Amino acid sequence: MRILARILGWLAILVAAGAGGMMLAAVTSGQSPAQPLGQLWFAVDPGSLNAFQAIVERYLWPPLWDYIIFPVLRQETTLVALIALVVGLVLLIVARRRNGNKRRLFKS
């Protein structure tokens, strides 16, 4: 269970980093970062968005695109980045080791 939480945590952190990169690309090109993530992604690189959709629908699971990814792409980029970052950090903190081997996420 911890390994699944860790994988999902890192995946959420990657989503937050991707959304942050999209916001940075929008600002450097003179666009507003406060627009839907899918619209921003399409403005930055439409080919990669189409390829991502094709991969998800053909090789993973078509309802994953329809019911999870597409609604996320319709949300504001800053909101997606913030929520993904918080969820990722919470999952990584929950999944940390609690036995004698004290590995910490953040050193204090």
**In-domain check, residue 70:** yes
**In-domain check, residue 107:** no
The pTM assigned to this predicted structure is: 0.79
Q: Taking the CB of residue 9, how many other CB atoms lie within 10 A of it?
A: 21
Q: Which residues pair with 76 in a beta bridge?
A: 36
**In-domain check, residue 71:** yes
pLDDT tens digit sequence for 84-106 = 999 999 999 998 876 655 566 66
Confidence at residue 31, expressed as pLDDT on a 0 to 100 scale: 84
**In-domain check, residue 103:** no
Torsion of CA 5, 90, 24, 36, to 10 degrees: 80
pLDDT tens digit sequence for 24-72 = 988 898 888 889 999 999 988 899 999 999 999 999 999 999 999 999 9
**In-domain check, residue 73:** yes
Q: How many domains would you assign to the chain? A: 1
**In-domain check, residue 101:** no
- What confidence tier does 79 reach under pLDDT thresholds 50, 70, 90? very high
**In-domain check, residue 79:** yes
| Containing structural domain, residue 26 | 2-94
**In-domain check, residue 35:** yes
